[in-house]
Chain A
Amino acid sequence: KAGVTQTPRYLIKTRGQQVTLSCSPISGHRSVSWYQQTPGQGLQFLFEYFSETQRNKGNFPGRFSGRQFSNSRSEMNVSTLELGDSALYLCASRRGGADTQYFGPGTRLTVL
């Protein structure tokens, strides 16, 4: 069974640009969550999508947004990039009920 996949694995952008990250969950998983990992703040929850609807959200500004498609694939968008957005962005999927969350390898975003 294939795991959670994220593309691209590495990305370099400049301040002010926008970026879109993609996540393909494990087959059969309907919930996709996004996390940001930085050295200073650790792993922080961004949001969760379930059946194409955002059902939970962390404390991040509106520049961070996401969506989920009917096949459960999810995208995360960050607009007007800031230097502080440089981080490892992790996607995790689960079936949706009381179920373990499985993480992808992450996308390393560097903002110059």
Chain B
Amino acid sequence: DQQVKQNSPSLSVQEGRISILNCDYTNSMFDYFLWYKKYPAEGPTFLISISSIKDKNEDGRFTVFLNKSAKHLSLHIVPSQPGDSAVYFCAASPNSGGSNYKLTFGKGTLLTVNP
């Protein structure tokens, strides 16, 4: 039973345009959500997170939106750059810290930004 789903295995966008990566979850206990980026032969790199008490969080070119009622979150990258080409993982946890911090990951979306 996949509790975190990234339904698009891949996404291709032009440099300078917006990239929108989507993620759905089924577990109502999830309270904290994160996006990680992963290059081949490297571990995932933290990008941005959002707590369930918020519906938006921005960090530079990256914005995460959370729709709790739809159990959906999205990552917007504006403007997209070729260096953003990587696999993006959505992850969720029952809380943001403490003993019950346990990340459940989606299967990832391969983003390709074309020059």
Name A's B-contacting residues (CB within 8 A).
4, 31, 33, 35, 42-45, 48, 50, 55-56, 58, 90, 92, 94, 96-106
Q: Which of chain A's residues have a CB closer than 8 A to the CB of B89?
A: 43
B87-108 interface bits toward A, Cβ cutoff 8 Å, 1 = contact, 0 = none = 0010100001111111111111
Q: Which of chain A's residues have a CB closer than 8 A to the CB of B104?
A: 45
CA distance A56 to B41 in the complex (A): 27
CA distance A65 to B73 in the complex (A): 33
Q: Which of chain B's residues have a CB closer than 8 A to the CB of A94?
A: 101
Total number of residue pairs linking A and B with CB closer than 8 Å: 56
Q: Which of B17-25, B42-50, B78-86 contacts A (4 or more CB under 8 A)?
A: B42-50
Q: Which of chain B's residues have a CB closer than 8 A to the CB of A31?
A: 101
Q: Which of chain A's residues have a CB closer than 8 A to the CB of B96?
A: 98
Q: Which of chain A's residues have a CB closer than 8 A to the CB of B108?
A: 42-43
Indicate if the CB atoms of A56 and B44 lie closer than 8 Å: no
Indicate if the CB atoms of A50 and B99 lie closer than 8 Å: yes
Instruction: Please give the distance in Å from B50's CB to the nearest CB on chain A.
Output: 13
Instruction: Please give the distance in Å from A109's CB to the nearest CB on chain B.
Output: 15
Q: Which of chain A's residues have a CB closer than 8 A to the CB of B105?
A: 35, 42-44
Q: Which of chain B's residues have a CB closer than 8 A to the CB of A98?
A: 96-98
Indicate if the CB atoms of B103 and A45 lie closer than 8 Å: yes
Indicate if the CB atoms of B43 and A103 lie closer than 8 Å: yes
Q: Which of chain A's residues have a CB closer than 8 A to the CB of B91?
A: 43
Q: Which of chain A's residues have a CB closer than 8 A to the CB of B49?
A: 100
A92 to chain B: closest residue by CB = B43
